[in-house]
């Protein structure tokens, strides 16, 4: 996967300009608030996923602008492709001039991985962060998963809405039956995808972690279901009474989690900060490896502001593992990039490349 050219128009603080990146390492260098992350955020949107900063679509349109437009020319499996994203209130996407049903339909065409400071909390933060990690990774590999997740989320939202009135209206019970059947059916498929992804990616994650820990530590991770998929329908039915009070659906894959063990001991409970960061880093590098194995092509790698958060050994580890592909690294300080000689440095200043 290689970006040949990217064009920005009305996007955040960026000037309207186009940019021809290096086919290998691109270092986006500049002081704070100049637009480095904005550039990587724009690139990431071509994976079909939402902003990795959690921004709403509208927030990415430049202040005072009516809309933003991004264009990308990239090589995938040796074939040149053109993608375009328009952002008004929502993202709209085009691939080779054809409009797509939704921007998420870009998924699977352009593949990238992003590692940003938020990802360093993958182990320490709440389970929603880990589920989102899985969902984004799986969505790029299997775009049908994105639709599945949307249907599932909608069914859970419907159940939440009606469960609040359940007390007052027993005829609602039939509607609950319908939504619970859908939650159970879609939920079982989601769990299947997630478990399959974990199984596929665990060996490389463990291998990478072993390398980072200098062969001293063994990492294992597993998918933890709030309830086994085959019992989900029953569990939903049984949870109606308790869910009535909380107004939320207490079981299902939207409550699942990942569990990490280092040398057999829970990393969340007992791991050091550094160990937790190393797990996050391993998961991200393994994500790239999994995409490569399945798609037969290396994804573009984006490292937003993480180099300064890691010690020199881990910085070196990353650089050794992501070389020989297209990489975008944002950086404020030359001292963090002294180890790469191969890349091109682009100086970002006030929303443009100087
Ligand atoms: N919708 C928008 N329209 C115009 N400007 C925006 C918009 N959203 C964000 N900005 C501005 O873009 C600027 C650059 O943001 P960005 O996050 O890319 O900086 P950065 O170079 O990555 O900085 P840092 O080194 O601090 O991470 C910020 O000053 C922010 O106020
Ligand atoms: Mg930034």
**Residue 321: pLDDT band by 50, 70, 90 thresholds?**
confident
For residues 299-323, average pLDDT: 87
Structure pTM?
A: 0.94
Residue 18 DSSP one-character state:
E
Over residues 211-226, the mean pLDDT reads 94
Asked whether the predicted pLDDT for residue 342 surpasses 80, the reply is no
Among protein residues, the one whose CA lies closest to atom 31 of ligand 1: 33
* CB 52 within 8 Å of CB 114: yes
The first and second tokens of residue 337, run together, are 């990039």
137 token code pair: 């990774």
Tell me the percentage of the chain whose pLDDT exceeds 70: 97
| Helix pair 172-212, 127-141: axis angle to 10 deg | 90
Q: What is the pLDDT of residues 132-169, one digit of tens each?
A: 999 999 999 999 999 999 999 999 999 999 988 766 66
Residue 10 Cβ contacting ligand 1 at under 6 Å = no
37 lines ligand 1 (CB under 6 A): yes
Relative to the CA of 31, which ligand 1 atom is closest? 25
C-beta of 32 in contact with ligand 1 (< 6 A)? yes
Average pLDDT, the chain: 94
Nearest CA to ligand 1 atom 2: 12
The pocket of ion ligand 2, defined by CB under 5 A, consists of: 37, 305
User: For residue 120, what are its two tokens?
Assistant: 């360093």
33 lines ligand 1 (CB under 6 A): yes
Q: What residue ranges define each of the domains in the chain, with the CATH number in brackets?
A: 1-111+301-354 (3.40.50.300), 119-296 (1.20.1050.90)
pLDDT given for residue 306 in this prediction:
87
Q: Nearest Cα to 194, choosing from 219, 222, 218, 226?
A: 222
- Measured between alpha carbons, how far is 200 from 196 in angstroms, rounded to an integer? 6
| Range 44-71 average pLDDT | 97
Does the CB atom of residue 51 touch ligand 1 within 6 A?
A: no
């Amino acid at each position: 996967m290689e970006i040949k050219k990217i064009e920005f128009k009305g996007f955040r603080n960026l000037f309207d300009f186009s940019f021809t990146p290096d086919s290998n390492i691109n270092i986006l260098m500049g002081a704070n608030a100049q637009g480095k992350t904005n550039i990587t955020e724009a690139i990431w949107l071509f994976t079909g996923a939402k902003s990795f900063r959690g921004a709403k679509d509208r927030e990415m349109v430049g202040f005072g602008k009516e809309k933003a437009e991004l264009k990308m020319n990239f090589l995938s499996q040796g074939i040149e492709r053109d993608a375009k994203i328009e952002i008004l209130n929502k993202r709209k996407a085009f691939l080779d001039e054809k409009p797509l049903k939704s921007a998420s339909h870009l998924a699977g065409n352009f593949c990238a991985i992003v590692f940003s400071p938020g990802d360093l909390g993958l182990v320490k933060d709440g389970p929603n962060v880990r589920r989102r990690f899985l969902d984004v990774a799986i969505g790029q590999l299997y775009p049908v998963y994105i639709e599945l997740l949307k249907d599932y989320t909608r069914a859970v939202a419907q159940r939440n809405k009606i469960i609040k009135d359940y007390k007052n209206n027993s005829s609602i019970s039939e509607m609950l039956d319908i939504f619970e059947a859908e939650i159970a059916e879609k939920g079982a498929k989601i769990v299947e995808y997630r478990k399959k992804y974990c199984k596929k990616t665990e060996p490389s994650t463990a291998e990478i972690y072993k390398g980072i820990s200098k062969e001293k530590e063994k990492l294992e991770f597993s998918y933890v279901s709030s309830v086994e998929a085959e019992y989900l329908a029953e569990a939903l039915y049984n949870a109606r009474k308790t869910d009535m009070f909380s107004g939320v659906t207490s079981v299902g894959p939207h409550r699942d989690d990942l569990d990490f063990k280092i040398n057999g001991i829970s990393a969340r409970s007992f791991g050091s900060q550094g160990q937790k960061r190393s797990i996050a880093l391993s998961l991200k590098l393994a994500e790239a490896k999994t995409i490569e194995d399945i798609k037969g092509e290396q994804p573009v790698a984006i490292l937003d502001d993480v180099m300064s958060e890691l010690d020199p050994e881990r910085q070196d580890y990353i650089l050794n593992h992501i070389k020989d592909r297209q990489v975008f690294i944002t950086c404020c300080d030359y001292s963090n990039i002294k180890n790469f000689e191969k890349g091109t440095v682009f100086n970002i200043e006030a929303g443009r490349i100087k």
